[in-house]
Amino acid sequence: MFRALGHPGRLAVFELIRETSGAGRSATICACDIAERLGLSAPGVSRHLRELRLSHLVRTEKRGQWLHCTVNPDALACLRDCLQAASHTERAVAEWAAP
């Protein structure tokens, strides 16, 4: 999951999809709109979406010739939990190591 977000282009694609479908909204964004808004080629967006899909970060739905994308809310919750756990661990280590 984190490896998929390690590429700046994929992170930008994920962030745009998250902004569109976040906060409990069920809105989607079309892959062509992602390409246009981020200034990426259609094949580039397709590669990024494939990686994000394989990492279960986004869901896609084909509607005719258009591919509509939304964030997988379960993956978003998992990311949030992992980052919170890492933050707590870092804080505990810092407290333990403090004189």
At 75 the pLDDT is 87
- Residue 8 falls inside a structural domain: yes
- The arithmetic mean of pLDDT across residues 55-82, rounded, is 89
- Residue 25 falls inside a structural domain: yes
Domain count within the chain: 1
- The arithmetic mean of pLDDT across residues 52-74, rounded, is 92
CATH code of residue 53:
1.10.10.10
What is the β-pairing status of strands 66-71 and 29-30? antiparallel
Span 5-47, pLDDT tens digits: 899 999 999 999 998 876 555 688 999 999 999 999 999 999 9
- Residue 38 falls inside a structural domain: yes
Angle between helix 8-21 and 31-38 (nearest 10): 120
- Using the predicted structure, report yes or no on whether residue 72 has a pLDDT greater than 60: yes
- Residue 64 falls inside a structural domain: yes
Q: What is the DSSP string of the chain?
A: -TTGGGSHHHHHHHHHHHHHH-TT----EEHHHHHHHHT--HHHHHHHHHHHHHTTSEEEEEETTEEEEEE-HHHHHHHHHHHHHHHHHHHHHHHHH--
**pTM over 0.75, yes/no:** yes
